[in-house]
Every structure is written in C-alpha cells, then in structure tokens.
Amino acid sequence: MELSAEQVRKIADLARLELTEEEITLYAGQLSDILNYFRLLQEVDTSHIPPTASVLPVSNVFRADQAGETLPLLESLRNAADTDGEQFRVGAILDGDD
C-alpha cells in the first residue's frame, strides 16, 4: 500500500504537524513501508498461539517497604524553587472559596 502525498498531509494535519514537501515525500515512503510490513504480519498464521496480555510472566517487582536514612534538611531543600525557612514553598492551587 502506497500512501499519497495528500494522505500524508491529512495525517500531518490530524497530528497538528507542519511538514515541508521534502518531509511529506520522505514520510509517504516510510509510512508506506510500515503499512506494508503490517500487511505481511497479518499473513502470519497465529491460530495455534493462545491470546495473551503479556508474554512475560507476572511477578511482583516491588521491594519490601523498609525505613532507611533520610536526607539532611538542607540537602532536601537545595533544589527547591522556593523555600520558607525549613519548608518548601509552592503556589496556591485553590481559590480559597472552599
């Protein structure tokens, strides 16, 4: 399946992309190659393969919750945009009517 320049312009418009004519020509070829590859994949017989959500075994990747050393106060505040003494200062997110 070969995409036309007009089809690439339509896709770019939907994606809100501004493409040059050179990019349109380039992407028409690349997208056509991708679609042709998917067409090839659709021809593969997968009837003997059960549907799966993941090919990897499901396992818990979380570590045990253990208390550890904390950062010193000044180190934890070092990269803050704004501080007030020993606290982070952030802008208000509510209008105060609540």
Q: Where are the domains of the chain?
A: 5-42
Residue 41's pLDDT is 94
| Tally: H helices and E strands in the chain | 3, 2
Residue with tokens 């003997």: 48
Residue 44's pLDDT is 94
Residue 17's pLDDT is 95
Q: 5-42: which CATH number, 3.40.190, 3.40.1000, 1.10.20, 1.10.1060?
A: 1.10.20
- Model pTM? 0.49
Which residues of the chain register pLDDT less than 70?
A: 96-98
Residue 94's pLDDT is 80
